[in-house]
């Protein structure tokens, strides 16, 4: 086939959808089944509200829900930034100094072995009911996936590249910055994507334990009053925030590993010959 005939096919096959149409259709189908089941079996709204009722609650109470969502969004973003930076710094330090890796390795495991709900009340006591305790909670949750993935990526650097750098007289610092760090970028990107999905957990759990604002507090109060439609409306907004953050981090992560596109390609997304 002539090159002029191959070019349009390659161009069409390289198009990426921002949202998978199949996922959208599946989501709409599940919402439709949910609506039909609630109406068919006459489920009371305080047990399971219909999607139409949730949408109505969102439309009527959007000012209240939006104000609480801004508080939670600030906590999520601050926690994500702090957790990601701390995780990357610890991973680089552990990769640079093996003695530090031996000392801090168990700390990484312990930070995830403790249940979140067990330490949340302590964080509220230590840092108060304001923003700080929620940011610390989100930081603790985000820290581990970022640090673990970054450290694993730094460890898996091709030893031949490291040996080549030594032959050319590179210092350990230069080897870390110029060889090991770029090689670890796919693993770092994966850790950031996982952290973006987990970031809202810390903020909401902190709000449940002690807070004066936020979606977590709104959910807690609505549940106590059997306002299940408000609970689901807040959850919808929280899910939208989480998906938006994940999509943004995913876009940035793809930019970090543009030289290694296979790290994020989905089946069928690559151009076929």
Q: For residue range 132-157, what is the model confidence (pLDDT) as tens digits?
A: 888 888 888 888 888 888 888 888 87
Taking the C-alpha atoms of residue 175 and residue 256, their distance in angstroms, rounded to an integer, is 19
CATH superfamily of 51-259: MetI-like (1.10.3720.10)
DSSP label at residue 211: -
pLDDT score of 271: 37
Give the chain's mean pLDDT: 79
Taking the C-alpha atoms of residue 137 and residue 208, their distance in angstroms, rounded to an integer, is 12
Q: What is the pLDDT of residues 199-210, one digit of tens each?
A: 888 788 878 877
Which of 187, 195, 168, 189 minimizes the C-alpha distance to 95? 187
Low-confidence ranges of the chain (pLDDT < 70): 1-20, 259-273
The set of residues, in sequence order, having a beta carbon less than 8 Å from that of 63 and lying 6+ positions away, is none
pLDDT score of 2: 45
Cα distances (Å, whole numbers) of residue 13 to 5, 226, 266: 14, 50, 13
pLDDT score of 173: 74
Taking the C-alpha atoms of residue 194 and residue 191, their distance in angstroms, rounded to an integer, is 5
Look at phi and psi of residue 108 and say left if phi exceeds 0, alpha if psi is from -120 to 50, else beta.
alpha
Domain coordinates of the chain in residue numbers? 51-259
* Contact present, 216 and 204 (Cβ < 8 Å): yes
Cα distances (Å, whole numbers) of residue 105 to 1, 60, 112, 192: 57, 50, 12, 20
pLDDT score of 101: 74
Q: What is the pLDDT of residues 69-109, one digit of tens each?
A: 999 999 899 989 999 999 889 888 888 787 777 777 777 77
Residue 96 buriedness (CB in 10 A; 0-12 / 13-18 / 19+): middle
């Amino acid at each position: 086939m002539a090159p002029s005939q191959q070019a349009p096919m390659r161009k069409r096959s390289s198009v990426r959808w921002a949202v998978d149409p199949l996922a959208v259709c599946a989501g709409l189908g599940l919402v439709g089944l949910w609506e039909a089941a609630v109406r068919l079996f006459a489920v009371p709204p305080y047990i399971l509200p219909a999607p139409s009722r949730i949408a109505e609650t969102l439309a009527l109470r959007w000012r209240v829900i939006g104000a609480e969502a801004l508080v939670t969004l600030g906590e999520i973003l601050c926690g994500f930034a702090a957790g990601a930076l701390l995780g990357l710094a610890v991973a680089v330090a552990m990769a640079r100094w093996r003695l530090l890796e031996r000392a801090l390795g168990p700390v990484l495991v312990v930070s995830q072995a403790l249940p979140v709900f067990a330490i949340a009340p302590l964080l509220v006591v230590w840092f108060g009911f304001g923003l700080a305790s929620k940011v610390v909670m989100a930081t603790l949750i985000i820290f581990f996936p970022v640090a673990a993935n970054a450290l694993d990526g730094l460890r898996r650097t091709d030893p031949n590249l490291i040996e080549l750098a030594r032959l050319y007289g590179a210092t350990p610092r230069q080897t870390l910055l110029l060889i090991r760090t770029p090689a670890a970028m796919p693993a770092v990107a994966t850790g950031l994507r996982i952290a973006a999905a987990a970031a809202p957990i810390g903020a909401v759990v902190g709000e449940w334990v002690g807070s004066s604002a936020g979606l977590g507090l709104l959910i807690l109060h609505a549940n106590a009053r059997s306002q299940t439609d408000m609970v689901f409306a807040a959850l919808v907004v929280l899910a939208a925030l989480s998906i938006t953050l994940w999509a943004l981090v995913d876009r940035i992560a793809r930019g970090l590993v543009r030289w290694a596109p296979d790290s994020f390609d989905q089946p069928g997304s690559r151009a076929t010959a």
